[in-house]
Amino acid sequence: MSVIKSAMIVWQLRAYSHVNLPSMIYWNSTRPLEIKLVIHTSTLEADDVEWVFGRDLLLDAFQWNEAGLADVRVAVNSDGLLILDLSSPFGAITLQTEAEYVQKFLLATLAVIPRGHEDCDVDRAIKQILEEAG
C-alpha cells in the first residue's frame, strides 16, 4: 500500500484572495480512484473540511482545462491557477491555488498506479464503504 500526501497547499478564497486556507491532499493506492482534500479551517474556528472526489477529475482538468459537473468543478486557467468550485447542501465555495502544486501531487500518484491501470474490485469497494458507514 502506498499513501501519497501533498506538501501543504494554500488555497485562497476566489472572492477574497487575502483569505488563505491551508490544506493537504491525500491519495491511497488501495483506493486509486479517490483523492481526499482536507482543508484546515482551525484559523476560522471551524472543523476541518474534507472532500473526496475522483483522481480522474483533476487529471481531466489538466488535460482539458476544465472538468466536472454539479458539486465539484475544476478548471486550470492561463495564469497557472487551479480553480476548484465545491458545493453541497450546506454551502458553496470557490478556491484557487497554484496549479503546479496539485500537478506534482498527481504525477506522484501516477508513478505508483498509472491512469487506466487502477484495479477496482467494485464488490470489495462497496463492502468497504458500507463497513465504514456502518
Residue 68 maps to which CATH number?
Answer: 2.30.31.20
Q: What does the alpha-carbon distance between residue 49 and residue 70 come to, in Å, rounded to a whole number?
A: 18
Average pLDDT over residues 46-58: 88
Closest CA to 38 of 80, 110, 89, 86: 86
Total number of domains in the chain:
1
Phi, psi (degrees; rounded to nearest 5) at 38? -115, 115
So what's the pLDDT on residue 122? 67
Mean pLDDT of 64-75: 92
Mean pLDDT of 30-48: 82
Q: Which domain holds residue 73?
A: 3-133
Q: Which residues lie closer than 8 Å to 71 by C-beta, 6 or more apart? A: 86, 87, 88
pTM: predicted TM-score of the whole model, two decimal places? 0.78
Interhelix angle 99-112/55-64, rounded to 10 degrees, is 120
